[in-house]
Amino acid sequence: MLNNNSNELNLSNQETQMPLDIILFGSILYSLIFLIGVFGNILVISVILIDKDLRNFTNYLLANLSVADLLLLFTNVPSGIHDLFAKERWYFGKIWCFLVSFIEHTTGFASILSIFFITCDRYYVICRPLVVKSLMNQSRTLKLIAIIWLMSFLTNLPFIALTSYSLAKFSNKQLEYKCATRADQTWALYFIVTDSFIFYILIGSVLIFMYYKIFKSLKVSTKFLRLSSFSKSSKQKKQQDRLLKLTKSEDEDKKVSFNPNINQSLMNKHVKQRQQLIIMLMIVLVTFYVCIFPLKIWNLLNLFAYRIDGFYQKIGFKLYWILNVTCRIFYYINSATNPIIFIEEPLNARF
DSSP code at position 6? T
DSSP result, 271-303: HHHHHHHHHHHHHHHHHHHHHHHHHHHHHHHHH
State the Cα–Cα distance between residues 99 and 86, nearest whole angstrom: 18
Q: Where are the alpha helices (DSSP H) in 51-185?
A: 57-86, 94-127, 138-155, 158-161
The rounded mean pLDDT for the chain is: 79
Tell me the pLDDT band of 5, cut-offs 50, 70 and 90: very low
- Name which of 102-111, 218-227, 231-240, 334-343 the model is least confident about: 231-240
Q: What is the pLDDT of residues 283-313, one digit of tens each?
A: 888 998 999 989 888 888 887 777 777 777 7
For the segment 315-330, the average pLDDT, to the nearest whole number, is 89
Return phi, psi of residue 8, to 5°.
Answer: 55, 60
For the segment 60-82, the average pLDDT, to the nearest whole number, is 94
The structure's pTM equals: 0.80
State the Cα–Cα distance between residues 58 and 8, nearest whole angstrom: 43
The yes-or-no verdict on residue 223 having pLDDT over 80 is no
Q: What is the pLDDT of residues 93-121, one digit of tens each?
A: 899 999 998 999 999 999 999 999 989 98
What pLDDT is recorded for position 248?
42
Q: Which domains does the chain have, with CATH numbers?
A: 20-232+269-350 (1.20.1070.10)
The residue ranking higher by pLDDT, 178 or 229, is 178
175 by DSSP, 3-state: which?
A: strand
Query: Using a CB cutoff of 8 Å and minimum separation of 24, what contacts does 318-323 make?
Result: 318/19, 318/22, 320/9, 321/18, 321/19, 321/22, 322/22, 323/298
Among candidate residues 296, 272, 292, the one with its CA nearest the CA of residue 284 = 292
Half-sphere exposure of 233 toward its Cβ, with a 13 Å CA cutoff? 3
State the Cα–Cα distance between residues 57 and 79, nearest whole angstrom: 34
For the segment 141-169, the average pLDDT, to the nearest whole number, is 91
For the segment 224-239, the average pLDDT, to the nearest whole number, is 53
127 by DSSP, 3-state: which?
A: helix
14 by DSSP, 3-state: which?
A: coil
For the segment 209-214, the average pLDDT, to the nearest whole number, is 89
Q: With the CA atoms of 336, 337, 339 and 341 taken in that order, what torsion angle do they form, in degrees rounded to the nearest 10?
A: 180
What pLDDT is recorded for position 20?
86
For a pLDDT cut of 90, what percent of the chain falls above it?
31
What pLDDT is recorded for position 112?
92
Tell me the pLDDT band of 6, cut-offs 50, 70 and 90: very low
Helical pair 317-344 and 20-50, crossing angle rounded to 10 deg: 20
Q: Number of helices (H) and strands (E) in the chain: give both, helices first.
A: 12, 2
The yes-or-no verdict on residue 193 having pLDDT over 80 is yes
Helical pair 186-196 and 261-305, crossing angle rounded to 10 deg: 160
Tell me the pLDDT band of 256, cut-offs 50, 70 and 90: very low
Among candidate residues 322, 334, 331, the one with its CA nearest the CA of residue 294 = 331
Tell me the pLDDT band of 200, cut-offs 50, 70 and 90: confident
Q: Terminal CA-to-CA distance of the chain, rounded, Å?
A: 34
51, 86 Cβ separation under 8 angstroms = no
What pLDDT is recorded for position 65?
94
59, 347 Cβ separation under 8 angstroms = yes
State the Cα–Cα distance between residues 285 and 338, nearest whole angstrom: 10
